[in-house]
Structure 1
Amino acid sequence: MTLFSLARKNIARNFSKYFLYIASMVFSIVIYFTFVTLKYSDTIAKKTASSQKLDSLMSGAAVILLLFVAIFIAYSNSFFMKKRKKEVALYALLGVRNRQIGLMLFFENLLLGLFSLVIGVILGFLCSKGFMTILIHLMGYDVIAPFTFSSSAALNTAIVFLAIFLVTSFQGYRLIYQFKLIDLFHASKKGEVVPKPSMVVAILGVLLISIGYWLALQDIFSSKVWLAVGFLIIALIILTTVIVGTFLLFHSVTGFVLVVMKRNEKWLWRGLHLMTISQLVYRIRGNARTLTVIAILSATTVTAGGAVYGLYYNINDQVITADPNTFMYEQTDSKFDQQVSSVLPNVKYDENIEALSVTFHTEQLNSAFNNSDKRIYTIINEKTYNQLATIQKKEKIDVNNANAVILDIGYDERFSPKYKGKTILTEDNTILTFQSFQTQSVLNTGTAGITVVVSNEYYKVLKEDGEVLNYRVIGVDKASAELSEKVAKYLPEKAQLSSAPQDLQTGIESVGSLLFIGGFLGLVFLAATGSIIYFKVLTEAEEDKYQYNMLHKMGVSAKEMRKTIASQVFVIFFVPLAVGLLHSAIALKAFSSLLMMDLVKPVLIWMIAYTVIYGLYYILTVFSYGRIITQNNRTEG
């Protein structure tokens, strides 16, 4: 029997153990192949206006995915090698040469990789149509993508993953040369070094995480710490303190919590709680590095995905705020108006309004972020505002004689001017005082910019200081980007057309592509995260099966053992998830404050979706753990 055929038979015999590892690799290959296929796709390039930007995003995402998958495969492979050490030792004891054993392990890893590569490329091709359709849909287009097989994408994927598999296969080859025979036999009994809990370390861990949270929640623009130290350095400090603090959290803090639980003797001696707590004390402390990786990966995935989904979720509201009218443009020639009217369906309203463009001296409005002494504002009178406000179902306003209300949709109290009570002057020293401000407008800001509302009488006074402008504002039911293109075709550039459907399409197109990339990268990270815990827990199940067999012989019921297994695995799975979700909640709170955007609902949706999929890995792990214990009890009696 050749080494190659022996490797093939070993894989067939242990395929159930390798299944999730293979499934994770296949999934990673499918996503990578999809990204590369989309990069080379002509369908998206023809359909979207941002194909070059999307190409860059796909290339960047492919690199991130590649680095992560390489680390994941190497990490997972080390777990399988640990499980194989006793088998390797038996081969050595039977007289098989080290070189032959190394080659057998090399071939096994390479065969697994090649099998995963072939399946991944095939599935990637079959799924490419669906993935491309999802991307096009997220970008706001209603198109069914065709089946696409890119030989360039297949070659790229094959070269990249073959290189990864060769490296991990060589890792398996070196195993036989790295350990003594006795070490290989006892490898399954060796866990990670169990650190002793320390009160000082526990306090330090909580303190570091608290420092990271405090820095993250400070306002970037007004915090003295951020301004003094600098953005990049503070960001590195936050990452360092949170990651190190998380490690120390699993190193000692959770240990102390379990020790406190252990002191409750009434609860401890009920069922198998004593065994559960004792094993958790070892597992959590001993696996501090692994649990830290899981928590940070979860936090990264949820934060990135939640932020992008939050942006995508709020695009429509942002466009409605910036463009309350479907179309708005400056009227320059009546013939253009007639041509535009000829292509407008389902018109709700069509108004011609007069406005002024006035230059003001704005020294009182200066701030650290805007030191300009002169600004141009669009002026409308109270009557025009209330007319449009009624159509748009907004509250009317009442403007006092020489006062004004400024409509600034980009207002941010951290660096916007404090408008109320401030005075501005025209070039002819006409005074205008702001009685209030609003963060909404009745005119499209793309055309009118920041608008100021004055009384009907004072509008006549300002008319002498400004340039009269005539605008057309249009409301249309179910407007589309195609309709916007038709309207734009009839208007000169100086008309400054602003189009709500076009702005919506542009926003969806850019953020939708980010959501697609972030979502699928998040799924790969999630699959890897769940797989890492799965491999770790099942490795421990092989070690624990003899203890459970003793309990079985002592008369402990299978139901009680399953309950203990479920509770142990639950803690190992969901403690790092809870920590990761807390990290991401703080990060997303800082992100929402930075953008002045409400992200609560989309972030909760994203977190729930992540937790549900993560929970499926928990169920699978508990089932697999229980099967190992049950089969061993049947075998051993």
Structure 2
Amino acid sequence: MTLFSIASKSIKKNFSNYFLYFASMIFSIVIYFVFVSLKYDTTIQATTEASQKISSVFSGASVVLIIFVAIFIWYSNSFFTRKRKKEVGLYSLLGVRKKQIGRMLFYENFIMGALALIVGIVLGSVLSKFFVMILMKVMGYSVITNFTISIEAILNTIVVFTIITLVTSFHGYRLIYRFKLIELFQADKEGEQEPRGSLIIALLSVIFIGIGYGLALQDLMDSALWRTMGFMITPLVILITVILGTYFLFSTLTVYLLRISRKNTKKYWSGINLIGTSQLLFRIKGNARTLTVIAVLSATTLTAVGTAYSLYYNNRSNVEMADPSSMMFIMVDNNVDEKVKDLVTNSKDHELVYHETIPTLQIDADVTNLNSLFSSDEMIYTVISNGGYNKLAKLQSRNEMLSLKANEAAVLDAAYNEKFSPAYVGSAVSLKVNGQNEDITFKFLKKFNVLNLRTAGATIVVSDELFTSLKQETTQENMVAYKITKEDDAKKLTEEIQAIMPEQANFSSFYEDYAAGLESSGLMIFMGGFLGLVFLTATGSIIYFKQLTEASSDKERYEILHKIGVNKREVKRTIAKQMLFIFGLPLLAGIAHCAVALTAFSRLLQMNLVIPVLICMGVYTCIYIVYYFLTVHAYYKTVTTTK
């Protein structure tokens, strides 16, 4: 009988022990295959205008996914091999040579890797169409996908996971050479010494996290620390201090707090709290690195998904700010406007809300007094009259009418940001008309547009008297605005109008900008959600594997407790408390890190991220809770099942 056949029989007879590792490999392969399939999917390439951009994004993200999946499989393999150290020690005790044991472990891992690759590709082929439909839906496309299998995706997945399987197989082969026989039999007792709690390092954990939070929440434009350290170095300082602080939090501060709680003898000696507290105390230091990684990954996942969902969530409101009219263009030919009017009025899917022609002027202005950070001292303004503004504002249901006199003016800036935009109110600019300057003073700032941004650009409102005077010195341009119902579903009508529109009309539409925003933000939320789900599943699985590994070594202790009369309900309650500590710490730390990061981000961009972020945190926490209950159940089943 060859070593290969022995390895195959070993897998068949002990498949229940191999299942967790096998399942983790299948999960990793399915995720990667689905991800690569999206890159090569013919439906996406044929439907979306940004297929090249999507392919590039998926190519870059696939590198991140490969690294993460490789680490996840390595973690899974480490837990699996640790669980088998006693078995390997038994082989050595029976006289089997190390080289033969190593080769058998190599064959076992390679067989499982090959089987997982086959199963993973089959499942991935089925699921890839489902994820294509989700991606197309969030990007605003409604298409029917055909079932196709990408040969490129299959070859890519085979190459990547063959390499990963070979590496982990060699890792298993080296296992027998890295440990002495006594170490293999005592594997379950590794790291069972009581850790020391240091008050100084515990305080350092709080100080480091405080420094990171403090730097992140400072105003970038006004902070002396950001200017001193530099805008490239400060984020690195924040990252390092928060990660170090989190590690010290789990490795030392929790030890210190558990040792203090042990002094509460009334609670400590109640029921079997002694067992749960002692197990947490003895193992917390060994779990510190894992908990830190999970906390940081949770924070990264929540921040990325929260940001992507915020952009997706706010897409419509952002487009409404930029494009208050469904369609707008500069009138260069009266016949074009008549044709557009016929197309709109004859459309069966849309009703006309309003149709207005607004007189405007294009005037150069000296804006030196604005002291703008991001524009030159000269810019072109689209100028409209007070009356024209009030008419549009009323049609657009804005209760912000203006009453300007003489050389008073108002500026319309939908993208206004207190940190970066000029202080308009009270500032003066000079309009240049026929070699003469006409000074105007901004009396009002309106944080919205009444003209579409892409057609009109920067817009200011002047008094009717001044507009009449300026009109005599420059050429008037009439801008035509249409408002229709169901403007976010006006693809057909928009394409028909674009076909007859001359280039100099500078046509803009709500649908065009809405669809473009939906496509880009939809791609971001899909990427963020997909990778976030991978990270969440992987981190939850890491805790799951680790706790089940510890459950196997705790089995004898719980059997003793059962023999001395401890009932199963009390055992389950203790396990639930113990798991709550292990699952709750990284989740709370990750949510705290994410909350600080998104608070800083929302302040910088002047965006309200509360609702989308709370939704993301809620979904993330719910999935995490599912992992918690699964782990509690599996741990309880492991320690209470008798052969």
Give the C-alpha shift of residue 121 in structure 1: 0.5
Partner of 1:160: 160
Alignment deviations for residues 539-578 of structure 1 (CA, whole Å, 9 cap, x no partner): 1111211111111111111000000001101110111111
Matched-pair contact (CA < 8 Å) for 1:388–1:442: yes
Aligned to 2:453, which of 433, 445, 448?
A: 445
Matched-pair contact (CA < 8 Å) for 1:128–1:148: no
Which aligned pairs between 1:133-532 and structure 2 lie closer than 5 A?
A: 133-191=133-191, 195-344=195-344, 345=347, 346-370=351-375, 372-401=376-405, 402-427=407-432, 428-479=436-487, 480-532=490-542
Mapped partners of 1:89, 1:186: distance in 2: 10
Partner of 2:582: 572
Alignment deviations for residues 417-448 of structure 1 (CA, whole Å, 9 cap, x no partner): 11111111222232211112011111111111
Mapped partners of 1:290, 1:369: distance in 2: 45
Alignment deviations for residues 510-537 of structure 1 (CA, whole Å, 9 cap, x no partner): 1211221221111111111011101111
Give the C-alpha shift of residue 195 in structure 1: 4.2
Give the C-alpha shift of residue 114 in structure 1: 1.2
Mapped partners of 1:220, 1:58: distance in 2: 32
Matched-pair contact (CA < 8 Å) for 2:373–2:421: no
Q: Matched residue of 2:365: which SS?
A: strand
Q: Matched residue of 1:343: which SS?
A: helix
Give the C-alpha shift of residue 628 in structure 1: 0.9
Partner of 2:97: 97
Mapped partners of 2:560, 2:422: distance in 1: 74
Give the C-alpha shift of residue 77 in structure 1: 0.5
Code of the aligned partner of 2:31 = I
Structure 2 gap ranges (5+) = none
Q: Matched residue of 1:378: which SS?
A: strand
Code of the aligned partner of 1:502 = E
Give the C-alpha shift of residue 604 in structure 1: 0.9
Q: Matched residue of 1:561: which SS?
A: helix
Q: Structure 1 length normalisation: TM-score?
A: 0.96
Code of the aligned partner of 1:599 = L
Mapped partners of 2:608, 2:24: distance in 1: 35
Q: Matched residue of 2:555: which SS?
A: helix
Give the C-alpha shift of residue 465 in structure 1: 4.6
Matched-pair contact (CA < 8 Å) for 2:329–2:481: yes
Aligned to 2:608, which of 595, 598, 603?
A: 598
Mapped partners of 1:461, 1:251: distance in 2: 75
Q: Which moved more, 1:621-630 or 1:13-22?
A: 13-22
Matched-pair contact (CA < 8 Å) for 1:20–1:531: no
Give the C-alpha shift of residue 594 in structure 1: 2.2
Give the C-alpha shift of residue 197 in structure 1: 1.3
Code of the aligned partner of 1:219 = D
Matched-pair contact (CA < 8 Å) for 1:581–1:607: yes
Give the C-alpha shift of residue 508 in structure 1: 1.1
Structure 2 CA distance for partners of 1:512 and 1:194, relative to 1, 3 Å = farther
Structure 2 CA distance for partners of 1:488 and 1:221, relative to 1, 3 Å = farther
Partner of 1:129: 129
Mapped partners of 2:232, 2:24: distance in 1: 34
Mapped partners of 2:318, 2:89: distance in 1: 64
1:584 counterpart = 2:594? yes
Give the count of matched residue pairs. 632
Mapped partners of 2:523, 2:541: distance in 1: 27
Alignment deviations for residues 96-135 of structure 1 (CA, whole Å, 9 cap, x no partner): 1212211111111112211211111001111121111111
Give the C-alpha shift of residue 258 in structure 1: 1.9
Q: Matched residue of 1:219: which SS?
A: coil
The share of aligned pairs that are identical, in percent, is 51
Code of the aligned partner of 1:78 = S
Matched-pair contact (CA < 8 Å) for 1:193–1:286: no
Q: Matched residue of 1:397: which SS?
A: coil
Mapped partners of 2:454, 2:29: distance in 1: 43
Give the C-alpha shift of residue 193 in structure 1: 7.0
Mapped partners of 1:194, 1:219: distance in 2: 44
Mapped partners of 1:364, 1:399: distance in 2: 24
Code of the aligned partner of 1:526 = L
Mapped partners of 1:467, 1:230: distance in 2: 48
Structure 2 CA distance for partners of 1:219 and 1:388, relative to 1, 3 Å = same
Mapped partners of 2:12, 2:600: distance in 1: 50
Matched-pair contact (CA < 8 Å) for 2:365–2:380: yes
Give the C-alpha shift of residue 378 in structure 1: 1.3
State the superposition RMSD in angstroms. 1.6
Q: Structure 2 length normalisation: TM-score?
A: 0.95
Q: Matched residue of 2:232: which SS?
A: helix
Q: Matched residue of 2:314: which SS?
A: helix
Mapped partners of 1:39, 1:552: distance in 2: 55
Q: Matched residue of 1:430: which SS?
A: strand
Mapped partners of 2:57, 2:340: distance in 1: 37
Structure 2 CA distance for partners of 1:286 and 1:27, relative to 1, 3 Å = closer
Which aligned pairs between 1:102-113 and structure 2 lie closer than 5 A?
A: 102-113=102-113
1:563 counterpart = 2:570? no
Give the C-alpha shift of residue 219 in structure 1: 2.7
Aligned to 1:616, which of 615, 626, 630?
A: 626
Matched-pair contact (CA < 8 Å) for 2:250–2:285: yes
Structure 2 CA distance for partners of 1:194 and 1:270, relative to 1, 3 Å = closer
Mapped partners of 1:21, 1:328: distance in 2: 59
Partner of 2:563: 553
Which aligned pairs between 1:78-89 and structure 2 lie closer than 5 A?
A: 78-89=78-89
Give the C-alpha shift of residue 454 in structure 1: 2.1
Mapped partners of 1:621, 1:575: distance in 2: 15
Give the C-alpha shift of residue 61 in structure 1: 1.4
